[in-house]
Structure 1
Amino acid sequence: MTFRKGIGFDTCSLCPLCPSVSTMGDSFIIAIDFGTAYSGYAFSITSRKEETDPYVKYWGEEVGLETPKAPTCILFDKHEEFVSFGYVAKETYLSKKGQEARDLYFFNCFKMKITRNLKIKAANGKEMTALKVFTEALRFLKDDALKHIAINTEGKEFTASDFTWVLTVPAIWDHSAKQFMREAATQAGIVPKGNSDQLVIALEPEAASVFCKRLPSDGFIAENRGEDKLDQSPGTQYIIVDCGGGTIDITVHEVLERGALKELHKASGNDNGGQNVDRKFKEFLREIFCDGVWEEYQKKYPSEVQRMMNDFTGFKKKDKDFEITCSLNLGTVAQKKQDIERFLEKVQGVSWNEGSIRICKQKLRSFFEESLWGITKSVRQLLSKDFKIEYILLVGGFAESEILRRHITEEFMDNCKVLCPFRPQEAILKGAVQFGRNPSVIASRKSAFTYGVAISQRFNESIHRADKKFTNKEGTFCVDLFMNLVKADEDVGWNETRKHILNPLESDQTQVNFTFYQTKRQNVKYVDERGVEKIGSFVVSSPNTTRGLQRKIELEIRFGYTEMTATGTDKETGIKQTIELDFMRI
């Protein structure tokens, strides 16, 4: 028999937990892909049994475009009230000049910054809390989705509670970031607090994998000899490289019987997504317009800088020379130092062309070098492991780049087939809807951390630290022992729960405390060791003390659904306490 300060350990079991279909939203699914650079949504209002292609909302009509996502841009007025999102926000901001522009809060590509109390900078240098910015962006996408669905269903009105919502996040994000998104979604009115079953957090490369496994051969860009599709035979292994605006997410899947997927390697990656190419371009402009010219221009005319970056977003999809138009204001600021043409004279790869900066494709490729190196390194590391990889799938908006696709194909075509769907931006959106309809398609994942709960045992001086010795009327115990709930890199089944029976530490105690921890280490003995972090706690009432130390408290941990919940139940009275473990770092 083992114990802890408040609880003790008796027996353990492993079992599946399968919620009723009704809790998953039998027919109505809305998936929001909230990306660093672009965001959008897709939905399905057909029966779960029907094979159907999810409907994707297209954006940009007001600016003459038609894209499956809108720019992740949000605009607030000077009173910090929401104004607009996406193309409308960008165009509204770009139309403002001088002080009028500086009064506005314009946020662009802000998804990388995620902690509860963090403040993020707008284009004018002013700050707002990240949680408010994310919440208002999600609120807009929710409201727009409900309106759009009503228009396409003969005016039938829907509320958020009519749907199961799927929210995508990068696989390399830790639980704190996922919890942040859940909190923002709750504040945005997507789901009521406490009704967590109605919101599914989907990992972006998993969603893309679910989508790509259903594509025919003509659904992929023909860059690897052109006749291939993803083999669905059990045992097929492939790497998914989700090339987003902010992150590069890489994971490995194996096809199981009946088409389910197993994660073979926990997600890896980096923050060298498409935004990194944008940063390199901006650094290049700063290098050209030196002596403080670029800094002054950026401060005085932020909307013009944003327009320049907007143009570059289109140019970086191609592998060819391009021209960036220089505004009259940039010329005026530059003229304080010297003629604008003089700034270009000693810079390789650029030239002046009647009011525009002409940049050659070799220089454009140089902006990609860091990102391509990071992707290549990560993929090579996976290929060096004991897997039998047959395919590399490239998905995400950054995969629209000809430079990126060609580089990955040339690097790895001798190892495996490289596939990219025709609309790589839509892969995650549509796959997220399909995942919402059938979350069990991801049969198991690798745990990114070792998770545990603090317990106590009868003290044994031969194995326990002297400073952990604790004595009460029941005897002498060792406190603060780390009891494993799951180990890092261990397979955890979809929606799997693990149950443990624990006991009070004192015969007359009426409150039993549970404290949970995480660490990247696989072998930990005490909860205060290096690298161990507290992630949550709760108290379970146990008012009937008749059975003393023999009372049983059942601890049930729910893993594998991309998040974790813990439930403690006093078996004598049936009193329960449930907590979504708090991974948020203040």
Structure 2
Amino acid sequence: MCIIAFSKMACYQGYHSDKVLVAAIDFGTTYSGYAFSFRHDYERDPSKISTNTTWIAGHKNLFSLKTPTCVLLNPDKSFHSFGYEAEEKYSELAIDEEHEEWYYFRRFKMQLYQNMELNRGMVLFDESGTKSMPAKVVFAHGIRYLKEHLMKQLDVRGLRAALDGEEYIQWVLTVPAIWDDKAKQFMREAAKEAGISDNQLSIALEPEAAALYCKILPIEKLSAGYENNLSVFQPGTKYIVLDLGGGTVDITVQEVLGNGCLKELHKASGGGWGGTRVDNAFLQLIIKLVGNPVIQKFKNDQKADDLELAREFETKKRTINEGHSGKITFKIPITLSELFLDEYGEELKSAIKQTHYAGKITWTGDKVRIDADIIKELFCIATDNIVESVNAILAKEVCCGVETILMVGGFSECKLVQECVKKHFSRMRIIIPDEAGLAVVKGAVLFGHNPQTIVSRITKFTYGVKTTQNFKRNDPEDKKIIVNGVEKCSDVFSVHVEIDTPVLVGEPLAPQYYNPLYRDQTEVTVPIYVSTDQNPKYTTDRTCTYLGKLVVPLGPPQGNEKREIEVKMTFGGTELTVQARETRSKKTLSASFDFLDP
């Protein structure tokens, strides 16, 4: 186990990026956006962060500080548009029945979550389910659009002249803290394909970024009704960051250190319980009313109406609260009831009266009125999981003394979700900053300026490599192999760091040593495994999963000397890094991880 003396940690408050501008991209499941600030502004006032507030939706009642994560490609697979523009264009094409050859992708980010089969060859299917594109190409189109949109905003505001070139920009891409290393590498490679150089890109973890932003906010912008909000970020304070996004819920626990920096107390946890779970629950309710054949025809043939229905629910979803009683009215496209009549030969209004929803749901023309209790129930699949997870974390010994929950992310703006958290954790202080949906992307800008504000993190898994060792008497016989006449045991899990270990940011752990099996090897490829056990014995154990590989190119052998490689892995950053060298010659080797090779 790695023991760390936190008293020796420094926050590096004097650290600054050497870039003139820091630009952050929040590529979300449902909505995306960006923010930026110049270094000179950050040094004078860290809160001076610019965002784009001109995203325009076709539906004027929809308020959003971001744009939908939608990519539309031309029939020749070239890029056409992103966000609201993509939504509107695809709807127009569908009305004119010209959409079938186009490629329309939406809400595809979640396909990277907990996908241990993720690789560079992954494909995404478009809305039709019949056409596909390489996933990395689709992600790259979205990132490139946001990057170029930001650059245009600099032009419009007359700020681009302050840059000597794009190489003076530090880009930050946000990802959920619960994502694995495969997904992080995938996003890095997609950003590179979008025109962002590796050495100009850093990855920020969403709940951490949000906490950094809230840390600099004045008291009145954190939350109304609390007089002692300033104490949230006083040294010694422990708090939960509850980052509720469209796809995932990210939960981390942090403590403020004496120097103002933050350390992680409990490894990131959460799941796919974001706002889209409520959207899906609403869709399932509609399916129960009209039937799956009708909803499929509606989605296939009435794209514009389908979009308006989604926007209508998104608007109402944010305002529904526990105080709602009676019925809640939704505007529903008339085409849905017309399709029901065509399919079943009866009025939808009459059909509902013959179901257990009689008296609870009424449908007339383009309006449906639904009992508030039914709508509230749609949130339960998300809120129940959120409450259960927070309770489980608070029960941990390391979380003793946590008295505050910081709610951020777009889903945190839903009144019903806010009320649920306040109800179940009434003894705690609940803080929801203004514009909680922008906390992540603005915090990512701060992270880009000073990434050392986070000084330590907790490992989510036991990390190790698959290796061979001399065969021992208690080793399984089926793992015995012969190498150069010597009995070896294969599939040995060589642990580099155990699960739930506090690790310092930027500081490699103790080195591990490996010997090439054969003298004439030109590279060493070491399989990397993760486990939920603290000390697994073999990589074939049930708790172990193959993550990827460590590749270390070797020079030509020198004489007959046995070669040995020293490997140092760093686990404290937002991404894994590695250093390697030959122990005898001290020669540095260009080691790298590859988590995406199938």
5+ residue gaps, structure 1: 1-12
Instruction: Note if 1:566 corresponds to 2:578.
Output: yes
Distance 2:35 2:545 in 1: 39
Identify the residue that residue 281 of structure 1 maps to in structure 2. 282
Instruction: Note if 1:69 corresponds to 2:66.
Output: yes
Distance 2:546 2:439 in 1: 35
User: CA separation of 1:142/1:155 partners in 2, compared to 1, >3 Å: closer, same or farther?
Assistant: closer
- Report which stretch shifted further, 332-341 or 342-351: 342-351
Identify the residue that residue 91 of structure 1 maps to in structure 2. 88
Identify the residue that residue 485 of structure 1 maps to in structure 2. 496
| Aligned partner of residue 112 in structure 1, secondary structure | helix
- Report which stretch shifted further, 489-498 or 54-63: 54-63
Identify the residue that residue 368 of structure 1 maps to in structure 2. 379
- Report which stretch shifted further, 104-113 or 157-166: 157-166
Question: What pairs up with 1:247-266 in 2 under 5 angstroms?
Answer: 247-266=248-267
5+ residue gaps, structure 2: 113-117
Shift of 1:426: 0.9
Q: Deviations over 1:7-43 (max 9, x none)?
A: xxxxxx9999999x99954331111111111100001
| Aligned partner of residue 113 in structure 1, secondary structure | helix
Instruction: Note if 1:180 corresponds to 2:169.
Output: no
Identify the residue that residue 385 of structure 1 maps to in structure 2. 396
Identify the residue that residue 115 of structure 2 maps to in structure 1. none
CA contact (8 A) 1:541 1:575 kept: no
- One-letter code aligned to 1:95: E
* Among candidates 329, 332, 352, match of residue 338 of structure 2: 332
CA contact (8 A) 2:63 2:315 kept: no
- One-letter code aligned to 1:482: F
- Report which stretch shifted further, 531-540 or 295-304: 531-540
Instruction: Note if 1:28 corresponds to 2:16.
Output: no
**TM-score of the superposition, structure 1-length normalised?**
0.88
Identify the residue that residue 405 of structure 1 maps to in structure 2. 418
Instruction: Note if 1:521 corresponds to 2:533.
Output: yes
User: CA separation of 1:165/1:82 partners in 2, compared to 1, >3 Å: closer, same or farther?
Assistant: same
Identify the residue that residue 394 of structure 1 maps to in structure 2. 407
Identify the residue that residue 214 of structure 1 maps to in structure 2. 216
Distance 1:503 1:60 in 2: 54
CA contact (8 A) 1:395 1:421 kept: yes
Instruction: Note if 1:55 corresponds to 2:50.
Output: yes
Distance 2:20 2:394 in 1: 40
Shift of 1:420: 0.5
Distance 1:457 1:575 in 2: 25
Question: What pairs up with 1:125-136 in 2 under 5 angstroms?
Answer: 125-128=129-132, 129-136=134-141
| Aligned partner of residue 254 in structure 1, secondary structure | strand
Identify the residue that residue 350 of structure 2 maps to in structure 1. 342
Instruction: Note if 1:205 corresponds to 2:207.
Output: yes
Deviation >6 Å, runs of 4+? 13-19
Identify the residue that residue 144 of structure 1 maps to in structure 2. 149
Distance 1:395 1:430 in 2: 12
User: CA separation of 1:390/1:496 partners in 2, compared to 1, >3 Å: closer, same or farther?
Assistant: same
Identify the residue that residue 113 of structure 1 maps to in structure 2. 111
Distance 2:157 2:257 in 1: 37
- One-letter code aligned to 1:56: T
- Report which stretch shifted further, 61-70 or 440-449: 61-70
User: CA separation of 1:545/1:33 partners in 2, compared to 1, >3 Å: closer, same or farther?
Assistant: same
Distance 1:87 1:509 in 2: 57
Instruction: Note if 1:122 corresponds to 2:126.
Output: yes
Distance 2:436 2:515 in 1: 54
Identify the residue that residue 81 of structure 1 maps to in structure 2. 78
- Report which stretch shifted further, 29-38 or 518-527: 518-527
User: CA separation of 1:23/1:419 partners in 2, compared to 1, >3 Å: closer, same or farther?
Assistant: closer
Distance 2:31 2:517 in 1: 55
Shift of 1:453: 2.8
User: CA separation of 1:304/1:367 partners in 2, compared to 1, >3 Å: closer, same or farther?
Assistant: same
- Give % identity: 32
Shift of 1:400: 0.8
Question: What pairs up with 1:32-47 in 2 under 5 angstroms?
Answer: 32-47=25-40
| Coordinate RMSD, CA, aligned | 3.0
User: CA separation of 1:50/1:225 partners in 2, compared to 1, >3 Å: closer, same or farther?
Assistant: closer
Identify the residue that residue 536 of structure 1 maps to in structure 2. 549
Distance 1:75 1:119 in 2: 16
- Report which stretch shifted further, 251-260 or 337-346: 337-346
CA contact (8 A) 2:9 2:455 kept: no
Distance 2:575 2:590 in 1: 14
Distance 1:389 1:22 in 2: 29
| Aligned partner of residue 567 in structure 1, secondary structure | strand
| Aligned partner of residue 78 in structure 1, secondary structure | coil
Q: Deviations over 1:220-265 (max 9, x none)?
A: 343x657634522222111111110011111111111211111111
Identify the residue that residue 312 of structure 1 maps to in structure 2. 313
Shift of 1:505: 5.7
CA contact (8 A) 1:566 1:578 kept: no
Distance 1:141 1:391 in 2: 34
Distance 1:457 1:101 in 2: 59
CA contact (8 A) 1:104 1:124 kept: no
**TM-score of the superposition, structure 2-length normalised?**
0.87
| Aligned partner of residue 109 in structure 2, secondary structure | coil
Shift of 1:467: 4.8
Q: Deviations over 1:59-92 (max 9, x none)?
A: 3246457743111112122222211111111122
Distance 1:507 1:127 in 2: 46
CA contact (8 A) 2:567 2:580 kept: yes
Shift of 1:270: 1.4
| Aligned partner of residue 429 in structure 1, secondary structure | helix
Identify the residue that residue 5 of structure 1 maps to in structure 2. none
User: CA separation of 1:501/1:239 partners in 2, compared to 1, >3 Å: closer, same or farther?
Assistant: closer
CA contact (8 A) 1:76 1:84 kept: yes
| Aligned partner of residue 569 in structure 1, secondary structure | strand
Shift of 1:471: 5.5
Count of residue pairs brought into register by the alignment: 565
CA contact (8 A) 1:286 1:295 kept: no
Distance 2:523 2:390 in 1: 47
Q: Choose between structure 1 and 2 for higher RCO, CA contacts under 8 A separated by at least 6 residues.
A: 1
Distance 2:9 2:233 in 1: 26
- One-letter code aligned to 1:553: I
CA contact (8 A) 1:236 1:255 kept: yes
Shift of 1:117: 3.1
Shift of 1:498: 2.6
User: CA separation of 1:280/1:569 partners in 2, compared to 1, >3 Å: closer, same or farther?
Assistant: same
User: CA separation of 1:181/1:331 partners in 2, compared to 1, >3 Å: closer, same or farther?
Assistant: same
Shift of 1:318: 0.8
